[in-house]
Amino acid sequence: MRVPIHREGWPFIAIFVALNGVLYWLSPWAGLAFAPVTLWCIAFFRDPERTPPPGERSVVSPADGVLLPMVDAVPPQELGLGPEPRRRLSIFMNVFNVHVNRMPVSGTVVALAYRPGRFFNASFDKASVHNERMSARLRPQNGSDPAADLAVVQIAGLVARRIVCDVKQGDAVARGTRYGMIRFGSRLDVYLPPTAKIVIKDGTVTRAGETVLAELQG
């Protein structure tokens, strides 16, 4: 059975497989002991297909993981969404989750902003403020009111050292499509527009591109 792998993973998989081969050549027991680590590396970069649910107003999860407690927080100021707090939904990804990120809505990328920062544990609330991040402001399809924009933020974690974002400002994006990933262990925040109706509970296990977080209102 073919395991789909994200392109970011092939260099790492090659290194782990080569190292495993050397260890096995030196000592079969050492090679066997290291094999689970090699298998974990392959699994980390897996990139399964996902099918978004029907309903263009649905906001889907941008990541696999667990939904942390929802809070009201000010979006990253570099996106220009204003100083008013919005409902923030945060998905924590551990090192065993699929780490490919997907767009929560269809629409247009109206702003992108990278900010360097710290590398606190991504499950901590302070990670949203202090950690390295890549923020995207999205204008939902057929929308013209800037107040209805939402934000999705890739946040590096304790051992994450690379955020990959494959979209550019002005790109048209489709809900559930791949747009990046984070290595290794991290979180994604979604800042909803004020009128969005949340349909998910804290602690829910999410699947990127499939689990509905909220419904946008007309």
Which are the catalytic amino acids?
186
Which among 48, 45, 55, 19 is positioned nearest to 34, based on CA atoms? 19
Q: From CA 123, how far away is CA 107, in angstroms rounded?
A: 29
- Name residue 154's beta-bridge partners: 134, 188
Q: From CA 158, how far away is CA 183, in angstroms rounded?
A: 10
Supply the DSSP string of 32-92, one letter for each residue: HHHHHHHHHHHHHTB-----PPS-TTEEE-SSSEEEPPPEEEPPPGGG---SS-EEEEEEE
Residue type, 212: V
- Name residue 102's beta-bridge partners: 178
Q: For residue 205, which phi and psi values (nearest 5 degrees)?
A: -80, 125
